[in-house]
């Protein structure tokens, strides 16, 4: 009992200090289940040990409520919004109502399961639960390298190529550092969806050992601009269709590291080619509306002969044009790189590539890795005027970042 008391006292002061000192540069806070509305969830420890902490509105420690470890009998915590507070139970036993709670661990080998809206996910690190209007907001505070491994698996972990995983790990880490303060005002760093990077769990699936090896062997490495030394915008997509797109054409934003160039390594891969059948009437009316012109025989002829021998960014007719990305999103196409062929009352779109086409092509990188290219060569192929840099020089900047609310 005395030993447990000492452990609780130690964790109390450790947690107190981390709340009032600068954010730990080796950790990152990710809002998980960010696309879900939920007012209740379940928490269960998988490995390691956790202390259940009650927090006040300012993130200050109120009390240490519970201690649980993986050697204990399995305990399922039930968390639910109750008015302005969060209600906490173990089975039918009510532990109390609190403004916010945290399942905190000081051991990087600890991990937990969280169940939300009939979906269960497995994460490393600690969990913070806060009120969010009438719902809950869940934040995973996790070691940066463990987060990177989870992102690599979530974004493209199905192809067992070590050098490809290394390239993805470096890009995921670079994105996290560049966008470290993206959601600072909301109390976390990044979300778990495509608005940040997809992060659906810790790395645990069939290629997880290889992914963790890739993360370890590229530890602390990020991609920076050769001139400024700033972390680059580490964009990537599934398949370029044989030619990448520059950032300015895709997003109207000039990013010198993201240029358009031929990409032979994406050719012939799984999502290199695609077809889609669309009603002629829908396509014709949409294009006429976007061009703000009448649907004339001349415009119909231009539509039916539309080809892209090289990748284009606009549909042009006479002195008018509109971005092909608008057409892509409206008709839910894999890419903007396609030709149009008439087929009765339909058009057959024969396309290449999958995604926006900016930056690294995942399938191209997989192909390069299978041919013996290193992750450095893969990165240098897809990004212009860059170099690989150690993250250590950026840790001080992270430490000096404004303190998160929780």
Instruction: Please give the pLDDT value at position 361.
Output: 98
Instruction: Answer whether residue 178 is part of any domain.
Output: no
DSSP string over 92-129: TEEEEEESEEEEE-S-TT-EEEEEETTEEEEEESEEEE
Instruction: Please give the pLDDT value at position 8.
Output: 44
Tell which of 143, 172, 206 closes a domain.
Answer: 143
| Confidence grade of residue 172 (pLDDT, cut at 50, 70, 90) | very high
The neighbouring-strand residues paired with 52 are 66, 103
The answer to whether 149 touches 202, Cβ cutoff 8 Å, is yes
Q: Using alpha carbons, list the distances in angstroms from residue 282 to 217, 264, 279, 395.
A: 51, 34, 5, 53
Determine the straight-line distance between the first and last CA of the chain, rounded to whole angstroms.
Answer: 30
Percent of the chain scoring above 70 in pLDDT: 90
Residue with the bigger pLDDT between 92 and 380: it is 380
Tell which of 108, 123, 143 closes a domain.
Answer: 143
Instruction: Answer whether residue 211 is part of any domain.
Output: no
pLDDT, tens only, 110-165: 999 999 999 999 999 999 999 998 999 999 999 999 999 999 999 987 889 999 99
Tell which of 128, 143, 158 closes a domain.
Answer: 143
pLDDT, tens only, 300-349: 999 999 999 989 999 999 999 999 999 999 999 999 999 999 999 999 99
The dihedral through the CA atoms of 52, 57, 59, 63 has a sign that is: negative
Instruction: Please give the pLDDT value at position 16.
Output: 37
The verdict on 126 and 32 lying in the same domain is: yes
Q: What is the mean pLDDT of residues 292-304?
A: 96
Instruction: Answer whether residue 194 is part of any domain.
Output: no
Is a pLDDT exceeding 70 seen at residue 108? yes
Is a pLDDT exceeding 70 seen at residue 3? no
What CA–CA distance (Å, rounded) separates 321 from 313? 10
Question: The whole model's pTM is what?
Answer: 0.87
The verdict on 291 and 263 lying in the same domain is: no
Q: Closest by alpha carbon to 46, among 129, 113, 99, 130?
A: 113
| Confidence grade of residue 398 (pLDDT, cut at 50, 70, 90) | low
The verdict on 50 and 117 lying in the same domain is: yes
Instruction: Please give the pLDDT value at position 91.
Output: 86
Is a pLDDT exceeding 80 seen at residue 405? no
The verdict on 127 and 251 lying in the same domain is: no
The verdict on 344 and 364 lying in the same domain is: no
The verdict on 243 and 384 lying in the same domain is: yes
The verdict on 225 and 369 lying in the same domain is: yes
Angle at 69 (CA atoms; ends 65, 71), nearest 5 degrees: 140
Instruction: Answer whether residue 69 is part of any domain.
Output: yes
Most confident of 3-7, 17-21, 116-120, 130-134: 116-120
| Confidence grade of residue 256 (pLDDT, cut at 50, 70, 90) | very high
What CA–CA distance (Å, rounded) separates 245 from 262? 9
What CA–CA distance (Å, rounded) separates 386 from 377? 11
The verdict on 254 and 331 lying in the same domain is: no
| Beta carbons within 8 Å of 132's beta carbon, 6+ residues apart | none
What CA–CA distance (Å, rounded) separates 300 from 290? 14
Instruction: Answer whether residue 313 is part of any domain.
Output: yes
Instruction: Answer whether residue 129 is part of any domain.
Output: yes
Instruction: Answer whether residue 215 is part of any domain.
Output: no
Give the residue numbers spanning the domain of 252: 221-268+357-390
Place of tokens 């797109």: 245
Which two tokens mark 93?
A: 């036993």
Q: Using alpha carbons, list the distances in angstroms from residue 280 to 325, 340, 347.
A: 19, 11, 6
Stretch among 70-79, 89-98, 101-110, 169-178 having the lowest mean pLDDT: 70-79
Q: Closest by alpha carbon to 175, among 127, 230, 227, 239?
A: 230
Which two tokens mark 360?
A: 């690294």
The verdict on 120 and 230 lying in the same domain is: no
Instruction: Kindly report the average pLDDT of the chain as a whole number.
Output: 90
The answer to whether 16 touches 61, Cβ cutoff 8 Å, is yes
| Confidence grade of residue 182 (pLDDT, cut at 50, 70, 90) | very high
The verdict on 95 and 77 lying in the same domain is: yes
Is a pLDDT exceeding 80 seen at residue 88? yes
Instruction: Please give the pLDDT value at position 12.
Output: 42
Which two tokens mark 126?
A: 């600690």
pLDDT, tens only, 220-254: 999 999 999 899 999 999 999 999 999 998 888 99
Instruction: Answer whether residue 189 is part of any domain.
Output: no
Q: How many domains does the chain have?
A: 3
Q: Closest by alpha carbon to 406, among 148, 134, 39, 56?
A: 56
The verdict on 310 and 253 lying in the same domain is: no
The verdict on 340 and 386 lying in the same domain is: no
């Amino acid at each position: 009992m005395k030993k447990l008391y000492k452990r609780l006292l130690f964790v109390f002061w450790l947690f107190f200090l981390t709340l009032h000192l600068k954010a730990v540069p080796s950790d990152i806070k990710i809002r998980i289940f960010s696309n879900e509305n939920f007012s209740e969830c379940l928490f269960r420890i998988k490995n390691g040990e956790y202390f259940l902490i009650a927090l006040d509105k300012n993130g200050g420690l109120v009390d240490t409520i519970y201690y649980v470890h993986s050697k204990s009998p399995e305990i399922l915590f039930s968390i639910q919004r109750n008015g302005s507070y969060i209600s906490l139970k173990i089975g039918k036993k009510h532990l109390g109502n609190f403004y916010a709670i945290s399942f905190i661990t000081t051991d990087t080998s600890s991990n937990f399961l969280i169940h939300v809206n009939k979906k269960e996910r497995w994460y490393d690190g600690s969990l913070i639960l806060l009120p969010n209007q009438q719902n809950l907001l869940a934040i995973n505070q996790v070691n940066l390298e463990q987060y990177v491994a989870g992102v690599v698996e979530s974004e493209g972990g199905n192809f067992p190529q070590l050098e490809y995983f290394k390239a993805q790990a470096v890009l995921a880490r670079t994105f996290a550092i560049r966008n470290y303060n993206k959601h600072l005002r909301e109390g976390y760093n990044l979300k778990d969806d495509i608005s940040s990077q997809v992060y659906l769990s810790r790395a645990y699936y069939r290629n997880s050992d290889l992914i963790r090896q890739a993360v370890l062997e590229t530890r602390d490495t990020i991609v920076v601009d050769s001139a400024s030394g700033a972390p680059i915008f580490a964009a990537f997509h599934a398949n370029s269709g044989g030619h990448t797109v520059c950032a300015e054409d895709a997003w109207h934003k000039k990013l010198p590291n993201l240029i358009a160039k031929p990409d032979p390594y994406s050719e012939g891969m799984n999502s290199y080619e695609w077809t889609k059948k669309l009603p002629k009437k829908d396509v014709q009316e949409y294009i006429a509306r976007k061009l703000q012109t009448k649907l004339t025989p001349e415009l119909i002829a231009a539509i039916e002969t539309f080809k892209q021998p090289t990748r284009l960014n606009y549909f042009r007719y006479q002195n008018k044009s509109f971005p092909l990305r608008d057409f892509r999103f409206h008709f839910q196409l894999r890419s903007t790189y396609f030709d149009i062929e008439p087929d009765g009352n339909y058009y057959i779109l024969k396309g290449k590539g999958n995604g926006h086409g900016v930056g690294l092509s995942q399938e191209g990188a997989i192909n390069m890795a299978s041919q013996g290219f290193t992750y450095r060569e893969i990165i240098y192929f897809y990004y212009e005027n860059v170099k690989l840099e150690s993250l250590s020089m950026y840790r001080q900047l992270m430490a000096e970042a404004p303190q998160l609310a929780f």
